[in-house]
Structure 1
Amino acid sequence: MAADSLGLGAYWLDRLSALSVLGFGFAHPLVLGLLGLVPLWLWWQRRREGGQRTIAFSRLAVLAGGPRPSLRYVEWLPRLRAFALAGLIVAIAQPRSGARAERVNSDGIDIALTIDISSSMLAEDFQPQNRMEVAREKLKRFVMGRKTDRVGLVAFSGEALTQVPLTTDYPVVLAAIDNLQVGQLEDGTAIGTAIATAANRLRNSPGRSRVMVLLTDGENNRGAIDPRTAAQAAGTFGIRIYTIGVGSEGMAPVPVGRGLFGLRYENRPVKIDEPLLTEIATTTGGKYFRAKDAAALQAIYEQIDRLERSAVEAKAFIRYTERFRWPLLFGVVALLGELWIRARRGILP
């Protein structure tokens, strides 16, 4: 009998543990092993009674004046106690629904996207869009391809400003890219300041691979920080800089002021300091790219995506829904049922 009871308990333990495969589990599954003691307790109760069905009354008046209680009450009392114990054990095991939190290794990098928002980015040589519109569109496609990468956004012209610190909250980064507008900062092109600002965000980042993608369409003409010096400093922090020169070759329609019907454009020569951008990239172990049209810019981001991969550890937390109240309620109801029968029939514990 005892062996059968233990076997029955083990069977139910296996069934309850198997629920975790279906998205249901327990915080303390080992506690479920106590369920095997419940049928063992029932067997012990029956053996202690010696096979006799007797009822102990607290008052003789109950026996004399009341109806004769049926033996079925004697059988139900230990069963209700067993149900109460089982409910309490399952509640202590803390059943819960939802997946467990786990660590996964995946590819990822820390990326600071650094984009020029000077007035020349309104040049319309990427028809039917201007440089700024194309740059925003390709940046967004690049961000939407991230999974575990931490991405930050730095905008610069005559000065530099962090728009979004490093984060995996990609909707926030995408919204910040949408909000990039020419004229938000003092006009000019301060490449050195931009590198220093982005490097300051990356230098203490936890990732093993730190990357800066710097996009500009002009020459350094503002800021107190020399771009070469800033690049060397970034290199000492293990930051690779990929530079992108944006603009067609030759002449391009560039805004030169405002007229009666909006911006006035004139054809001006496209001036990108390619030797400087190449040196910045080479100094840090990165690479320089030239984007002469929208398709080329998209291909550049795809190439950078292939070049940069490193293993990082990401931890996903999923909130559990606690389910211990139901087995606890079941146990309490069973216990109250036992007490009610004993009180109504005047049966001693």
Structure 2
Amino acid sequence: MEFLALKNLFWVLPIIILAIGLAARSYHQRKKVISLLTQNSGHCNLKSNASPVRRRILGIALLSSLVFAGISALRPISGFVRTEFKRPSKNLVILFDISKSMTATDTEGISRNDAAKLLLREFINSRPTDRIGLISFAGDTFIETPVTRSRATLLKRVNQIQPGDFLVPGTDITAALEEAQNLLTEEPPPGSAIIVLSDGDNVTGGDPKTVLGQLKKSQVPIIAVAFGRDGEPANVPRTEMFTQSNHNTVKQLSESTNGLFLSASPKEVDSQIAKLNTRVDTIELDGKNIAGELYERPQDIFLWPLSLALFCLMIHILLPLKIKHWHPLTTAVVFLLTLAPSYYGEEVDSYEEALEVAKTEELPVMVIFTGSDWSKLSITFEQEILTHQIFKKWAETKVIWTLIDLPRVGLTDVERRARRSLVEELGVETFPMVVFLDVNKNPMGSLTHDPKGPSSWIERADAILKGEIAEADTAASTDYLPEEIRKSLEDPALTETQRSIRYYNKALELEKAEPELTLKSTDRFKLLLDLYSKAA
């Protein structure tokens, strides 16, 4: 057993010590009073019907409840549970310039090579499901790793490559681009991109015009990051040579393929990683490139010590000190326990089964709609709400619930049509969306993700079950978007898959541009949800 909140010891421990001190003081005060009553004779003629044994039990029960409550406050866990979420996977090839000019120290106090490695490590760690290949180049090229999802292999090679590893001088960007093109195959899969990290100095080799044209035709953008101070000479360490960074050479690569250009700045690495991710996320997919990402969450067991604390407290309250009399609340508590409902909520496999079980158990139905491999909000909802112990305990007694997932891949045509039909029947407008129904299939309200966490979500769900419709969520419409954007999203020339991907990419663009939408504007947050729903 481990504890995740040991920092709470600074107030839990003093409270327990104080309680023990007060109990000891009370015991000594009692002995003092008895001593005065007996005039220190050691013999007392006073009679009491209080049980000494029960007095000790009551004291131990009170102290135990305090200790167990303190343990619960430290948040004990019994290990970690792994959950897999499926996310879109891009195909990326990184071209890393290791010519000697990259050793120059003119990038905010560090070398161009160190600045490039810093950016590259952070970028790799921020793309957990993408397939990434690494090619080093100077006057020649070398495939450090083929396209892989192994982050350990990629990071190991990034740490090992050093400027000057190639005997051939120069910076042959054209050869590097051709090698990257071969790595992506003759027909690059949708979601492919090339990332170039270079200072653009001493470019050798042929004209990249042909390969750039092929990449643009294949819709493979080049994301170029230039290092060093543009146009300013810098000394190459341990030599008499000087190098001059040429950002324009690197910038032309991105402009020729509708990519992205950045001038590297180690001080702004976080914001530049965000820009890189935004551009990569907008690369269109075909719905087949899906990869699983594992998340670890703690397995909380704080309910056990908390339950024991409550049990000990009830013993202290209800156990009579006098032999012949019970606490008047005892009868009331026993009576209430006999009135406790005998039915429990549960998760079932289908909507139809949920309706049948709900009628038998006389509980409302909760239908959860998600898009597990394309909707980031659905992934967040499942991670923060559905898998939390608080939600599970609540759902066990409150509702009969079922999960209806609409992933881009993995469903037959029959299954997809049936689930889409249910989406239309229940009026689902966004993903994720939770719809509450009574036993007669009448809608009671709906909820989407609550960024405040499971407790806040459950509070609103309880309000809906009590008939407070004002707590339900509604969704905005994409009709409020500018006309040119709306026409682009609804272009009749697009196939259904292409239109779905365009909505998805627009939602990503909006979310990346304003990561705190819920804090800035409720309407814009609802617009984001609407875009994701149309991508389903």
Counterpart position of 1:233: 214
SS of residue paired to 1:314:
strand
* 1:215 to 2:223 alignment: no
* 1:290 to 2:263 alignment: yes
Give the greater-gyration-radius structure (CA): 1
Unpaired segments of 5 or more residues in structure 2? 1-80, 295-536
Counterpart position of 1:189: 171
Query: 1:131/1:233 Cα in 2 relative to 1: closer, same or farther (>3 Å)?
Result: same
Distance 2:165 2:200 in 1: 17
* 1:314 to 2:291 alignment: yes
Residue-by-residue CA offset, 1:266-321 (whole Å, 9 max, x unaligned)? 6x4623050x4333212212122222x3124553332011122255322589xxxx
Counterpart position of 2:25: none
Displacement of 1:166 in angstroms is: 0.5
Amino acid at match of 1:147: P
Counterpart position of 1:117: 98
Residue-by-residue CA offset, 1:53-91 (whole Å, 9 max, x unaligned)? xxxxxxxxxxxxxxxxxxxxxxxxxxxxxxxxxxxxxxx
Displacement of 1:118 in angstroms is: 0.4
Query: 1:231/1:110 Cα in 2 relative to 1: closer, same or farther (>3 Å)?
Result: same
SS of residue paired to 2:236:
strand
SS of residue paired to 1:139:
helix
Counterpart position of 2:245: 271
* 1:165 to 2:120 alignment: no
Q: Is residue 124–residue 252 contact of structure 1 (8 Å, CA) maintained in 2?
A: no
SS of residue paired to 1:239:
coil
Residue-by-residue CA offset, 1:220-265 (whole Å, 9 max, x unaligned)? 5322x32222211222232110112111145343216xxxxxx146
Distance 2:83 2:102 in 1: 45
Distance 2:128 2:187 in 1: 17
Counterpart position of 2:129: 148
Query: 1:128/1:165 Cα in 2 relative to 1: closer, same or farther (>3 Å)?
Result: same
Query: 1:203/1:235 Cα in 2 relative to 1: closer, same or farther (>3 Å)?
Result: farther
SS of residue paired to 2:211:
helix
Paired residues, number: 208
Counterpart position of 1:19: none
Displacement of 1:133 in angstroms is: 1.3
SS of residue paired to 1:308:
helix
Counterpart position of 1:299: 271
Normalised by the length of structure 2, the TM-score is 0.36
| Identity over aligned pairs, percent | 24
Counterpart position of 1:203: 185
Q: Is residue 189–residue 221 contact of structure 1 (8 Å, CA) maintained in 2?
A: yes
SS of residue paired to 1:195:
helix
Query: 1:295/1:101 Cα in 2 relative to 1: closer, same or farther (>3 Å)?
Result: closer
Displacement of 1:207 in angstroms is: 4.5
Distance 2:163 2:180 in 1: 19
SS of residue paired to 1:161:
strand
Q: Is residue 98–residue 164 contact of structure 2 (8 Å, CA) maintained in 1?
A: yes
Aligned 1:233-272 pairs, distance under 5 A:
233-255=214-236, 263-264=238-239, 268=242, 270-272=244-246
Residue-by-residue CA offset, 1:1-49 (whole Å, 9 max, x unaligned)? xxxxxxxxxxxxxxxxxxxxxxxxxxxxxxxxxxxxxxxxxxxxxxxxx
Counterpart position of 2:394: none
Q: Is residue 244–residue 288 contact of structure 1 (8 Å, CA) maintained in 2?
A: yes
SS of residue paired to 1:244:
strand
Query: 1:164/1:133 Cα in 2 relative to 1: closer, same or farther (>3 Å)?
Result: same
Name the structure where strand makes up a greater proportion of residues: 1
Distance 2:292 2:243 in 1: 50
Displacement of 1:209 in angstroms is: 0.7
Distance 2:199 2:134 in 1: 17
Amino acid at match of 1:190: D
Residue-by-residue CA offset, 1:80-131 (whole Å, 9 max, x unaligned)? xxxxxxxxxxxxxxxxxxx9998x6413311111111000000011254211
Aligned 1:23-102 pairs, distance under 5 A:
none
Distance 2:172 2:188 in 1: 27
Q: Is residue 250–residue 269 contact of structure 1 (8 Å, CA) maintained in 2?
A: no
Distance 1:160 1:243 in 2: 18
Q: Compute the RMSD of aligned alpha carbons.
A: 2.8
SS of residue paired to 1:138:
helix
Residue-by-residue CA offset, 1:167-192 (whole Å, 9 max, x unaligned)? 10110000010011111112211011
Amino acid at match of 2:222: I
Q: Is residue 110–residue 205 contact of structure 1 (8 Å, CA) maintained in 2?
A: no
Q: Is residue 233–residue 245 contact of structure 2 (8 Å, CA) maintained in 1?
A: no
Query: 1:100/1:127 Cα in 2 relative to 1: closer, same or farther (>3 Å)?
Result: closer
Query: 1:142/1:316 Cα in 2 relative to 1: closer, same or farther (>3 Å)?
Result: closer
